[in-house]
Chain A
Amino acid sequence: MDHFELAGKTAALVGAGSPAADAIAAAYREAGAEVVPVTRLENLETPFDIVAVAQDAFLAKPIAEIGDDEFERVLAANLGGVFAALRAAQGAIRRPGRIVVVTSVLGERGLPNCSAYAAAHGAVHNLIRAVAQELAPADISVNGIALGWMDWMHDRLDPADPEAARAVRFTILKRAGTADDLGALAVWLSGSGAGFVTGQIFTADGGLTTHL
């Protein structure tokens, strides 16, 4: 039995088009899954085996300059979509079901200018933990992948900013993450080997949050 084989499985992908979603789509397809990009999970005919949610909308701004509307937008874009997907998942997923949510290490740590984004992802982390409890009796697992600095994140790692390069070197592995670093973890969490795993946030960050 190959726990990394997803042949015959159908995966709904919420957030298609984002680099994280593209990474997961490529990995799922390589593992044999059929990947269906969706915007919302409600009222869909196809029952899915896997739902992956990979929405991410970064905002870098001092808190004093973030208006109510902007805060709402950041929450909606980072948290609202995950909430809606998890709410609809029970009706859209075959058993045993797998849900994988992409989130950020900023859900656990703070950085200047990241208040709204970090708050949204902190909420995503606890949403995962709470919904995992609710969906466990229905044989659906819910886990998160918290990303650190990834090589596509030019929205927060300005290539022209030497401080950003320094921040990447600050990781234990001294490099930014790649699509494969995310995809492989998503495949494991979506496969037959992860049936006892739920309610967890797995960090793929090159050791960023581990060392002093």
Chain B
Amino acid sequence: MLEDLTLTGRSAVVTGGGRGLGRAMAKALAKAGANVLVAARTRAQVDDAVAEINAEGGRAVAWVADVTDSAQVDAMVDACVDAFGAIDVMIANAGGGGVQGAWEFWEYPDDAFETVLATNLKSNFYCGRAAARHMVGRGQGGVIINTSSGTALRGNRSFAYPTAKGGQISLTKSMATMLGPQDIRVNVIVPGFVAQRPANDEREAETRRQRGERIPVRRIGEWWELGPLAVYLASDASRYVTGQLFIIDGGGLAGGIGPTGFVPRHPESD
């Protein structure tokens, strides 16, 4: 069974792969044997990620792309096929703009809303479409993984971000439905509070500890913890799994109807 968890001979694109969760997933895929095209907007970051993967014995190439531009996304997927001969796995992870909750709803500007939707939602459509064209043409199926956010499942004041992230979940389900007959599986990872990198200093570590107190497992997640989940979803181990949400959040969304620490008690049970 565990031999299914290998990705040897598979080729993957990871967007937003220069840092944070995308980089962690790219590294995990490479470690599991995949060839990885690491894509992001910032050249220095993708070069650094690729150097690290290759230094550890993996096989990765760097690519600079803005995933809000469909022509650049198409070129990125073509580059993966050129470099490795195929694309088996697309991890559409690039996103962001989560902290731009600076406006009241009635003051929210068009461009802020549209930028966040383009970065997080349209990009998933472009990446999935470009990957699916190659996968369908090749006829050997494939895997598409989108990265959403726990904010998708609850309302919050960042507004455009959770809206886009919620859209990714619907997008995933429809893509899974439309691509199932082509043996292309589509799932979405839903991280809760997950640190993108080690804390820079004690103050940041303390902020993270405080945030962790609101989570049932009493800590926030770490970037590398996305890696094993990405490998599972990218591999044949998940061959019957499609259209699903994979929440990785330390239990936050399973409860979350009271501040953590609230424990109902019967007077007589004390």
Write the residues of chain A forming the contact surface with B, with a CB cutoff of 8 angstroms.
58-61, 65, 105-106, 109-114, 148, 155-158, 161, 163-164, 166-167, 170, 172, 207-212
How many Å lie between the Cα of A61 and that of B263 in the bound state?
Answer: 9
Q: Are A112 and B156 in contact (CB-based, < 8 A)?
A: no
Q: Are A60 and B151 in contact (CB-based, < 8 A)?
A: no
Q: Are A210 and B155 in contact (CB-based, < 8 A)?
A: yes
B198 contacts the other chain (CB 8 A)? no
Report the nearest A residue to B156, measured CB to CB: A212
User: Of the candidates B261, B262, B266, which one forms a contact with A61 in the assembled complex, judged by CB atoms under 8 Å apart?
Assistant: B266
Q: Are B154 and A212 in contact (CB-based, < 8 A)?
A: yes
Q: Are B259 and A170 in contact (CB-based, < 8 A)?
A: yes
A-B pairs with beta carbons under 8 Å apart, 7 shown: A60-B266, A109-B255, A112-B264, A164-B262, A166-B262, A170-B257, A210-B155
Q: Contacts A158-B267, A212-B150: A167 and B262 contacting too (C-beta < 8 A)?
A: yes
Which residues B225-264 have CB closer than 8 A to chain A? 254-259, 261-264
A-B CB contacts (within 8 Å), total count: 73
Write the residues of chain B forming the contact surface with A, with a CB cutoff of 8 angstroms.
150-151, 154-156, 162, 254-259, 261-267, 269
| A111 CB contacts on chain B under 8 angstroms | 255, 257-258, 262-264
How many Å lie between the Cα of A113 and that of B267 in the bound state?
Answer: 13
Interface of B is mostly: loop
Q: In the complex, what's the smallest C-beta–C-beta distance from B193 to chain A, in angstroms? A: 10
Q: Contacts A61-B269, A113-B264: A167 and B256 contacting too (C-beta < 8 A)?
A: no
| B255 CB contacts on chain A under 8 angstroms | 109-111
User: Of the candidates B151, B256, B266, which one forms a contact with A109 in the assembled complex, judged by CB atoms under 8 Å apart?
Assistant: B256
Report the nearest B residue to A211, measured CB to CB: B155
| 6 closest cross-chain pairs (CB), A and B | A167-B258, A212-B154, A156-B264, A60-B264, A212-B156, A167-B262
| B162 CB contacts on chain A under 8 angstroms | 212
How many Å lie between the Cα of A210 and that of B262 in the bound state?
Answer: 18
Q: Are A211 and B254 in contact (CB-based, < 8 A)?
A: no
| B256 CB contacts on chain A under 8 angstroms | 109, 209, 212
| A148 CB contacts on chain B under 8 angstroms | 257
Q: Are B155 and A163 in contact (CB-based, < 8 A)?
A: no
Report the nearest B residue to A205, measured CB to CB: B257
Q: Are A161 and B265 in contact (CB-based, < 8 A)?
A: yes
Q: In the complex, what's the smallest C-beta–C-beta distance from A209 to chain B, in angstroms? A: 6
Q: In the complex, what's the smallest C-beta–C-beta distance from A57 to chain B, in angstroms? A: 11
| A164 CB contacts on chain B under 8 angstroms | 262, 264
User: Of the candidates A158, A161, A163, A209, which one forms a contact with B257 in the assembled complex, judged by CB atoms under 8 Å apart?
Assistant: A209
How many Å lie between the Cα of A212 and that of B257 in the bound state?
Answer: 9
Q: In the complex, what's the smallest C-beta–C-beta distance from B73 to chain A, in angstroms? A: 30
Q: Are B265 and A158 in contact (CB-based, < 8 A)?
A: yes
Q: In the complex, what's the smallest C-beta–C-beta distance from A108 to chain B, in angstroms? A: 9
- Centre residue among A106, A110, A155, A157 by max chain B CB count within 10 A: A110
Report the nearest A residue to B151, measured CB to CB: A212
Report the nearest B residue to A148, measured CB to CB: B257
How many Å lie between the Cα of A58 and that of B267 in the bound state?
Answer: 12
Q: In the complex, what's the smallest C-beta–C-beta distance from B192 to chain A, in angstroms? A: 10
| B257 CB contacts on chain A under 8 angstroms | 105-106, 109, 111, 148, 167, 170, 208-209
How many Å lie between the Cα of A153 and that of B248 in the bound state?
Answer: 32
Q: In the complex, what's the smallest C-beta–C-beta distance from A159 to chain B, in angstroms? A: 11
Q: Are A112 and B269 in contact (CB-based, < 8 A)?
A: no
Q: Contacts A109-B254, A209-B257: A59 and B266 contacting too (C-beta < 8 A)?
A: yes
Q: 15 more A-B contacts (CB under 8 A) besides A60-B263, A164-B264?
A: A60-B264, A106-B257, A109-B256, A110-B254, A111-B264, A163-B259, A163-B262, A167-B262, A170-B258, A209-B256, A210-B154, A211-B154, A211-B156, A212-B154, A212-B256
Q: In the complex, what's the smallest C-beta–C-beta distance from B31 to chain A, in angstroms? A: 33
Report the nearest A residue to B162, measured CB to CB: A212
| A211 CB contacts on chain B under 8 angstroms | 154-156
Q: In the complex, what's the smallest C-beta–C-beta distance from B185 to chain A, in angstroms? A: 27
How many Å lie between the Cα of A59 and that of B267 in the bound state?
Answer: 11
Report the nearest B residue to A207, measured CB to CB: B155
Q: Contacts A109-B256, A211-B154: A60 and B265 contacting too (C-beta < 8 A)?
A: yes
